[in-house]
Amino acid sequence: MLRRLHRAIRPGLPEARDGAALEIVPMRRRHVRQVVAIEERIFPRPWSPALYLSELASPASRAYLVALVDGAVVGYTGSMLVAGEGHVTTIGVAPEWQRRGIGIKLLYRLVCELRDRGAKALTLEVRMSNTGAQILYRRFGFVPAGVRKNYYPEVNEDGLVMWAYDVDTRSYLERLAEISRQIGLPPPGADGVPGGGP
Ligand SMILES: CC(C)(COP(=O)(O)OP(=O)(O)OC[C@H]1O[C@@H](n2cnc3c(N)ncnc32)[C@H](O)[C@@H]1OP(=O)(O)O)[C@@H](O)C(=O)NCCC(=O)NCCS
């Protein structure tokens, strides 16, 4: 299934530098060094290369994507899919590329992929103070559902648990189609984009 994502998206991303187009492709082992380099800049407890490699070794239950500009990794996201529940485990964009529409494109492609693979609901944890990320997640229908006390001990912060329900429905498909229009990517089910059913 992931192979279908090999085809690069070339939406003529206006915010890419020097006219370079953004590509969103499956994360491969060769991307991990660059992913971890970004991870170390944006997270207080970065994942190790070994952790990423072990995630990539379980493609049946994992989906990981990278955003590339001129072949260089500028962002990434990943998830675990178990029993119809997709858990977004990570998302990050290099600081100099943030607020340029890359995170939302990554999440859009990931959610389409998870739907295509049978997700009925999605969940994630986010730092309470990370309101920017929470705004992004709300656009995909995530709503607060609980608090994990001191989930991020390295920054002494609680984790907000968010869920997006009924992502296998037609109304959620319409939400994704609306997002696709906003970000200038093809809708779910279009050539190269999974997640067009039901
Ligand atoms: C959170 C993160 C992945 C978002 O990626 P990004 O490329 O910067 O976000 P985008 O430019 O795609 O933003 C899309 C939309 O999300 C919302 N959004 C994203 N960041 C926001 C912020 N800091 N403040 C307010 N809204 C924000 C907005 O609705 C935005 O649309 P707009 O720019 O038209 O207003 C990125 O900022 C990041 O890597 N942060 C550090 C790591 C992190 O916090 N990861 C999440 C852990 S749970």
pLDDT tens digits along 74-98:
999 999 999 999 999 999 999 999 9
Instruction: pLDDT band for 192, please (50, 70, 90 cuts).
Output: confident
Per-residue model confidence (pLDDT) at position 193: 86
Model confidence at 187: pLDDT above 90: yes
What range does the domain containing 164 cover? 2-183
What value does the mean pLDDT of the chain take? 91
Please state the rounded mean pLDDT for residues 121-144: 98
Per-residue model confidence (pLDDT) at position 38: 98
- Probe residue for ligand 1, chosen from 66, 79, 98 as the CB with the greatest number of ligand atoms within 8 Å: 98
- Residue 82 located in a structural domain: yes
What CATH number is attached to the domain comprising 127?
3.40.630.30
Per-residue model confidence (pLDDT) at position 190: 86
Burial (CB count within 10 angstroms: exposed 0-12, middle 13-18, buried 19+), residue 107: buried
- Residue 121 located in a structural domain: yes
Whole-model pTM: value is 0.92
Is the minimum distance from the CB of 89 to ligand 1 under 6 angstroms?
Answer: no
**Quick one: what percent of the chain has pLDDT higher than 70?**
90
- Residue 197 located in a structural domain: no
- Residue 196 located in a structural domain: no
Question: In the chain, how many domains are there?
Answer: 1
Which ranges in 89-159 belong to alpha helices (H)?
A: 102-116, 131-139
- Residue 143 located in a structural domain: yes
- Residue 69 located in a structural domain: yes
- Probe residue for ligand 1, chosen from 73, 96, 136, 160 as the CB with the greatest number of ligand atoms within 8 Å: 136
Instruction: pLDDT band for 197, please (50, 70, 90 cuts).
Output: confident
Model confidence at 15: pLDDT above 60: no
The Å distance, Cα 98 to ligand 1 centre, comes to: 7
Is the minimum distance from the CB of 160 to ligand 1 under 6 angstroms?
Answer: no
Please state the rounded mean pLDDT for residues 6-28: 63
The Å distance, Cα 102 to ligand 1 centre, comes to: 8
- Residue 152 located in a structural domain: yes
- Residue 98 located in a structural domain: yes
Q: Is the dihedral of CA 78, 82, 83, 87 positive or negative?
A: negative
How far apart, in whole angstroms, are the C-alpha atoms of residue 195 and residue 193? 7
